[in-house]
Amino acid sequence: MSTSKKKFKTEVQQLLDIVIHSLYTRKEIFLRELISNASDAIDRGRYESLKDDSVLEDDPNWKIKLIPDKATRTLTIRDNGIGMTKDEVEANIGTIASSGTRRFIDEMKQNKDASPIELIGQFGVGFYSAFMVAEKVEVLTRRAGDKAAGVHWESTGDGTYIIADAEKESRGTDVIMHLREDETEFLEEWRLRKIIQTYSDFVAYPIAMDITRKEQPLDEDGKPDEDAEAIETVSEETLNSMKAIWKRTKSEITEDEYQEFYRHISHNFDKPLETIHFKAEGVNEFSSLLFIPSSAPWNILSREEHKGLHLYVKNVFISDDCKDLLPEYLRFVAGVVDSSDLPLNVSRETLQDHVIVQRIRKSLVGKILGALADLKEKKYEKYVEFWKELGKVVKEGIHFDYANKEKLQELLLFRSSTTEKDDFVSLKQYVDRMPSTQKEIYFITGDSRDVVANSPYLEAFNKRGYEVLFLTDPIDEWVVQSLNEYQEKKLTPINQGEIELDSEEEKEEKKEEREKQKDEYKELLDYIQKQLDEQVKEVRISSRLTDSACCLVADKQGMNAHMERLFRAANQDFVPGKRILEINPTHQVFGVMKELHGKDAENDRLKDYVELLYDQALLNEGSPVRNPLRFTRLISSLMVKAGE
């Protein structure tokens, strides 16, 4: 037999130190985490046994057992699930830290008020919560179906663990917790019973415990004989009701029960924002219990790490990660689907193409979008909270789920040039409050609200009282492209193409003035164009500026600066296109430049001005200047000249 002593990876040890040394209430959570692991292990064992019954080893009764032992001050959580091989023990609870470990530590460092208990399950490191109450933890485990593969692991959480081959008669895992002296409450029957009822009642397998009862023997009159020695009887009792909560009637389920179940399957620690519980009848029969979380799960942006729905077929567990039941943009929804129609031997790999799965999926999407629409209409503030957390995920749907575009576009909320800092506007509200002269829906994309709110592109729109949507999520560029229009009003970027805000009459009125401006500035524009030939495609007079001197715009088909930054972030070799420099002829600086140009076109100061104008325009669109040193030197020298 080989025994080795190994070191935990640094992150795991850091995590353990946090778990061991912080003070908290609700330590009993450790039991929920370990039972949840046991239940998952049985789920997996059961699933494997559908294909290969050697896994069963002639014991078809899946169960979890709690074994409190006051003599040794240990609490054992035993399951007869799938078990772990030596490699799996190493990978899951040994040296190799999961990405969740790092996250957990970062979160604990950043958020001083965070409770490790609340985070531990969420980041997939629940096993280590055993160290909250135990001074030593042993794991004795054996992979189901392989009698020779027993493993023993133990650690006191002090930086190292010991791992060795071991004998184990029955399949599955024993987690043996050597409780600390002040944690003996977890050996008391009443305490364990209460914890199971509170947190694990719905676990689908029996959680059993031996209950010892003392009874006085009866005397001749049939009354307890107080003088005789008590008789002890031991019987195994199941502590949980095992009722699949999704199969129960809604009216019989309490908020707390829903909440605990939500925490169990999602590993989130918040309250669900909405609970969607329904039974579909008709062509396809299934029960479903879905939850919309109130905060974004930490791994929401990583598709691989994020788990899908739990799938059951006729009450039998099939998968705890069925991604085919929901489109990706609804991946924040946690829950269970239990189908009556799918075959029990359905393979996880072919689920995606299964016509029944597709039908269920369609129905789930309808329900979820309906619930969100309802929430928006009836509990707007709650919806806003949801939107702030998960709006950017829902927006992906606009791009990917064309069939539901109509419904999805009503769910969108945006910041805009006229909303208060914390407010949003929907497309419908936007259109409803458009002035009659406004024909299109205007938007600007950028990195943050502050940047776009102060951008010169807004000037002419503000002046006219035209609202401009602020699109500051990276996904927004794709949202507007896929959406294209709303209620037959085109979505138009204000920093791209030519913007015409004037009506025909206004145009007529201003025609003369414009022609004059064009003539007047023609030579200067040509000059600027020549100086900036490598950088810009065209220099023209702007109709969108009223106060600022100049700005850069993309041409109609081109990419704006924000989009370019996104592309560049994704692809280093990306070559940006040339943009158009628009100038505001009413700005004083052009009067000055025109005069300089009239006197001497080769004037160095004029060249500096052109350079500075272009750099200003770059800054305005949120791009860096080309040569910051030169830029600041030019400004300083101008400041000196201005003071002379």
The footprint of ligand ADP (CB under 6 A) covers 33, 37-38, 41, 79, 81-84, 92-93, 124-127, 173
Residue whose tokens read 């492209």: 481
**Closer CB to ligand ADP, residue 240 or residue 426?**
240
Q: Kindly state the smallest distance separating residue 140's Cβ from ligand ADP, in Å.
A: 11
Residue whose tokens read 């037959």: 488
Q: Kindly state the smallest distance separating residue 28's Cβ from ligand ADP, in Å.
A: 16
Q: Kindly state the smallest distance separating residue 16's Cβ from ligand ADP, in Å.
A: 12
Query: Using an 8 Å Cβ cutoff, are 236 and 211 in contact?
Result: yes
**Closer CB to ligand ADP, residue 141 or residue 438?**
141
Residue whose tokens read 């009159």: 221
Q: How far apart are CA 267 and CA 123, in angstroms?
A: 8
Q: How far apart are CA 562 and CA 571, in angstroms?
A: 14
**Closer CB to ligand ADP, residue 82 or residue 342?**
82
**Closer CB to ligand ADP, residue 106 or residue 281?**
106
Taking Cα atoms as reference points, which of 574, 552, 571, 560 lies closest to residue 619? 552
Within 10 Å of residue 208's Cβ, how many Cβ atoms? 17
Q: What number of helices (H) and strands (E) belong to the chain?
A: 20, 22
**Closer CB to ligand ADP, residue 82 or residue 541?**
82
Using CB atoms within 10 Å of the CB of residue 125, give its burial: 0 to 12 exposed, 13 to 18 middle, 19+ buried: buried
Q: Kindly state the smallest distance separating residue 94's Cβ from ligand ADP, in Å.
A: 10
**Closer CB to ligand ADP, residue 48 or residue 473?**
48
Q: How far apart are CA 535 and CA 634, in angstroms?
A: 19
DSSP symbol at 93: H
**Closer CB to ligand ADP, residue 146 or residue 555?**
146
**Closer CB to ligand ADP, residue 38 or residue 536?**
38
**Closer CB to ligand ADP, residue 139 or residue 501?**
139
Q: Which residues of 417-452 are buried (b: 16+ CB within 10 A; e: fewer)?
A: bbbeeeebbbbeebbeebeeebebbbbbbbeeeebb
Helix-helix angle 561-570:476-483, to 10 degrees: 120
Q: Kindly state the smallest distance separating residue 169's Cβ from ligand ADP, in Å.
A: 16
**Closer CB to ligand ADP, residue 43 or residue 477?**
43
Q: Kindly state the smallest distance separating residue 250's Cβ from ligand ADP, in Å.
A: 29
Q: Compute, in degrees rounded to 10, the torsion defined by CA atoms 78, 82, 88, 90.
A: 10
**Closer CB to ligand ADP, residue 266 or residue 495?**
266
Q: How far apart are CA 545 and CA 457, in angstroms?
A: 7
Q: Compute, in degrees rounded to 10, the torsion defined by CA atoms 617, 622, 624, 625.
A: 10
Query: Using an 8 Å Cβ cutoff, are 617 and 589 in contact?
Result: no
Q: Kindly state the smallest distance separating residue 27's Cβ from ligand ADP, in Å.
A: 16
Q: How far apart are CA 318 and CA 314, in angstroms?
A: 10
Using CB atoms within 10 Å of the CB of residue 256, give its burial: 0 to 12 exposed, 13 to 18 middle, 19+ buried: exposed
**Closer CB to ligand ADP, residue 16 or residue 318?**
16
Strands (E), 189-346: 207-215, 231-238, 272-280, 286-293, 309-313, 316-322, 334-339
Q: Kindly state the smallest distance separating residue 42's Cβ from ligand ADP, in Å.
A: 8
Which parts of 79-177 fold into alpha helices (H)?
86-93, 99-110, 116-120
Query: Using an 8 Å Cβ cutoff, are 62 and 42 in contact?
Result: yes
Q: Kindly state the smallest distance separating residue 200's Cβ from ligand ADP, in Å.
A: 14
Q: Kindly state the smallest distance separating residue 1's Cβ from ligand ADP, in Å.
A: 22
Q: Kindly state the smallest distance separating residue 45's Cβ from ligand ADP, in Å.
A: 9
Q: Kindly state the smallest distance separating residue 370's Cβ from ligand ADP, in Å.
A: 31
Q: Kindly state the smallest distance separating residue 309's Cβ from ligand ADP, in Å.
A: 17
**Closer CB to ligand ADP, residue 93 or residue 606?**
93
**Amino acid, single-letter form, for residue 593:** M
What is the three-class DSSP state of 334? Answer: strand
